[in-house]
Amino acid sequence: MIVFPNAKINLGLRVMAKRPDGYHNLETIFYPIPLCDVLEGIRAEKPAFTLSGVPVDGPPEKNLCIRALKLLSKDFDIPAISFHLHKNIPLGAGMGGGSADATFTLKLISELCRIDLTPQQLKEYALQIGSDCPFFLLNQPALGTGRGELLEPVSIPALSGKKLLVVYPGIHINTAWAFSQVQPSGSATAWNTILSAEPDSWNGMLVNDFEAPVLAAYPELLTLKTTLLSSGAVFAGMSGSGSTFYGIYNELPPAAHRLFPPEYRIWEFPIL
C-alpha cells in the first residue's frame, strides 16, 4: 500500500496562552498543499523501515512513522510491516512533514491490517504524536484552535484562482526555541473578517506570532519575504514556526526560481 503524506502551510498563527499541561493554545488556519512524501507499507516476514530523499536526522527508530506504529502496537496485534519513506517535504520547515508522515502511517496501518478505528479513535492516536497531526486526518482548509486539534473547516473563496509560491531557504528552526521567543498575545483574531477579505488586505491583519522573532534571528528571511512581495505577491507570510515562507499571487512571476539563491527550494502551486 502506498500513501502520499502532504504538507501544509499556516495562514496566520497566533499563540494565545500557555496551558497548565505545558502546551500552548493556538489559533491558525491550516491549509493543505500538494507537496507530498511517499510512504509504502507492505506485509513482510520481518519489520523494516528505510528512508530516501531529503536526509532525516536521527536513528530510524526515532522517526514519527515508527512512533505511530508503536502507538498502535500497544493496543493491537500488528503483524510485521516493511516501510519505505521517501522524503520530499523538508524538515524543520514549518510545513508539518513529520506530522503528516505519522498520521498517514496510522491510516495505512489501520487499512493494511484491517483495524476498524473510528475517526475519533484515529484523532486520539494522532494527537498523542503531535498537536497538528489531527489536521492531516481532515486535510482541508480549517481553523485550528486549542493545541491545534480543534478543527473547523473553512471556505476561503478569495483564494480561488490565485497562485502559491512556497520557498524553503534551508534553515532549520527549532520549534521549542521559537515558542520561547513568543509572548502569548491572548487577543482574539477576527478570522471571519480576514477570510472574507481579499488577500491583498491581509497584511497587518493576518499575523504569525513566530515571524517577528524568527526574522530578527535570521535577517536573510526578511530579504526572502521582501522578494516575494516585490515580485508581485499580494500577501506573503511564514508558515508555522518557519523557516518556509509563501507568497500568494494573482499571477506568478516568470522564472520565479531565479529570484532566490540556488540552494533555496521552491514550489509553485495553483489554488483551486
Is 197 annotated for ligand binding? no
Residue 18 bridge partners (DSSP): 24
Residue 183 contacts residue 212 (beta carbons within 8 Å): no
CATH of the domain at 184: 3.30.70.890
Q: Residues 201-221: pLDDT tens digits?
A: 999 899 999 999 999 999 999
Residues 129 and 221 in one domain: no
CATH of the domain at 60: 3.30.230.10
Banded pLDDT at 188 (limits 50, 70, 90): confident
Residue-level pLDDT at 171: 95
pTM across the whole model: 0.95
Task: Count how many domains the chain has.
Answer: 2
Bond into 185 cis (ω within 30): no
Residue 7 contacts residue 97 (beta carbons within 8 Å): yes
Catalytic residue among 8, 87, 107, 123: 8
Backbone angles phi, psi at 258, to 5 degrees: -75, -10
Spatial separation of the C-alpha atoms in residues 243 and 172, rounded to whole Å: 7
Residues 123 and 170 in one domain: no
Is 130 annotated for ligand binding? no
What percentage of residues in the chain have a pLDDT greater than 70?
A: 100
Is 97 annotated for ligand binding? yes
Is 93 annotated for ligand binding? yes
Residues 11 and 116 in one domain: yes
DSSP 68-79: HHHHHHTTS-PP
Spatial separation of the C-alpha atoms in residues 157 and 64, rounded to whole Å: 34
- Average pLDDT of 227-243? 97
Final residue of a structural domain among 105, 132, 152: 152
Is 21 a catalytic site residue? no
Residues 134 and 192 in one domain: no
Q: What is the dihedral angle through the alpha carbons of 201, 265, 149, 31, rounded to the nearest 10 degrees?
A: 40
Final residue of a structural domain among 118, 152, 186: 152
Within 8 A by CB and 6+ apart from 68, the residues are 102, 103, 105, 106, 109, 125, 129
Residues 119 and 163 in one domain: no
Final residue of a structural domain among 152, 186, 210: 152
Backbone angles phi, psi at 259, to 5 degrees: -75, -15
Residues 206 and 220 in one domain: yes
Residues 132 and 208 in one domain: no
Q: Which domain holds residue 133?
A: 2-152
Banded pLDDT at 241 (limits 50, 70, 90): very high
Banded pLDDT at 187 (limits 50, 70, 90): confident
For residue 207, give the C-alpha cell. Answer: 499575523
Residues 104 and 219 in one domain: no
SS3 content of the chain, % helix, strand, coil (to 5): 30, 30, 40
Is 8 a catalytic site residue? yes
Place of cell 521567543: 181
Residues 119 and 242 in one domain: no
Residues 114 and 227 in one domain: no
Catalytic residue among 107, 132, 209, 225: 132
Residue-level pLDDT at 58: 86
Residues 169 and 103 in one domain: no
* Among 120-124, 143-147, 175-179, 186-190, the least confident range: 186-190
Q: State the average pLDDT for the chain.
A: 96
Residues 71 and 118 in one domain: yes
Compute how many other C-beta atoms are within 10 angstroms of the C-beta atom of residue 36. Answer: 17
Is 96 annotated for ligand binding? yes
